[in-house]
Amino acid sequence: MSVHSHNHDHPHDHAGHGHSHGHGADARRLGIALGVTATFMVVEIIGGLVSGSLALLSDAGHMASDVAALALSLFAVRFARRPATPERTYGFYRVEILAAFVNAAALLLLTLWILWEAYGRLSDPPEVQGGVMLAVAVAGLVANLVSAAVLHGGQRDSLNVRGAFLHVLGDLLGSVGAIVASLLVLGTGWTVADPLVSALIGLLILRSAWGLLLDSLNVLLEGAPKGLDVRAVRATLGSVPGVRGVHDLHVWAITAGQPVLTAHVEVAGGVEVTEVLARARRTLRERHHLTHVTLQPEAEGQPCEDRDALHA
């Protein structure tokens, strides 16, 4: 007969506390970036209309989506701070992942529009005022550099902040591209440079947005955290003295940076179960940085009702 008990590693409580501090820092970053981006968006829209530049208008459109994306990300960070409830036992961390997914999808749609518009302008390039275009693009570059620098510190640990950072990075590339295009227009009169640069920027954004979409979808589908080898985790558990078998192993993430593991562990007869489980949790923490672990011990050779039901 199986021994049905759950054992949790206590350090995850401290990790949750640290995550709340991370949320506070993320909220400040997103708030600053939102203010800078919203202010300059108006300037760039006016500049794009006055100059007739697609590069500026596409960047302004991207900035408009950034305002929405940053606002969504800021809302998600604040909403994720809400405590867990009896109905939402893990809390609301997944709201951040949903925001990242929406931001990635919006980036993809916006990029497709830029590419389509650039294709139409290649055959019939409009008149572009290079001087106005250059002035607005340089100012946009400065604004985007400020926002990117603010968000850079939080984008490694949060998919939500990473989504916002990619939006701003796309704007930064757009500003660089607009500067290059305006210089070509001013120096050579080659107005085709404007849609060509826009298309190149669109392709660069497309690659980053696709990666973000896949990463956020992996979390939503409860796939194994990126960079974690589940086979190696299984081997680590199986190598712990006193463990005779491992099954029903599941590893997923509540949100970016918060992996969770559950497993059934067959424990050899004649050993102290609590010592084996404590050793297993300690080994998982040291080798794979897994701190939120639930292990269900079972007597060696005994059938598991949960396993039978799962594979029936």
Percent of the chain with pLDDT over 70: 82
Residue 311 confidence (pLDDT):
37
When pLDDT is cut at 50, 70 and 90, the band that residue 284 belongs to is very high
Who wins on pLDDT, 246 or 270? 246
Q: In the chain, count H helices and then E strands.
A: 9, 4
Rounded distance, CA 312 to CA 306, Å?
10
Are 75 and 117 found together in one domain?
yes
Please name the residues in contact with 226: beta carbons below 8 A apart, sequence gap of 6 or more: 215, 218
In this predicted structure, the answer to whether residue 241 has a pLDDT above a threshold of 90 is yes
Task: Give the domain CATH number at 181.
Answer: 1.20.1510.10
- The mean per-residue pLDDT over the stretch 132-146 comes to 84
Do 184 and 210 lie in one domain? The reply is yes
Chain-wide mean pLDDT for the chain? Answer: 78
Give yes or no: residues 139 and 286 share one domain: no
Q: Which of 37-46, 47-56, 102-111, 164-173 has the highest mean pLDDT?
A: 102-111
Most confident of 16-20, 93-97, 184-188, 288-292: 288-292
Do 55 and 133 lie in a common domain? Answer: yes
- pTM given for the model: 0.69
Tell me which residue range forms the domain holding 262: 230-299
Cα separation of 88 and 50, whole Å? 51
Cα–Cα nearest to 181, from 138, 148, 221: 138
* pLDDT, tens only, 54-80: 666 766 766 776 777 788 778 877 777
Residue 11's pLDDT is what?
Answer: 37
* Dist. CA 116–CA 202, nearest whole Å: 10
Do 140 and 275 lie in a common domain? no
Q: Are residues 197 and 108 part of one domain?
A: yes
Does 18 score more than 80 pLDDT?
no
Last residue of a domain, one of 186, 221, 256: 221
Number of separate domains in the chain: 2
Mean pLDDT, rounded, for 249-267: 88
Residues 236 and 217 grouped into a single domain: no
User: Cα–chain-centroid distance for residue 95?
Assistant: 12
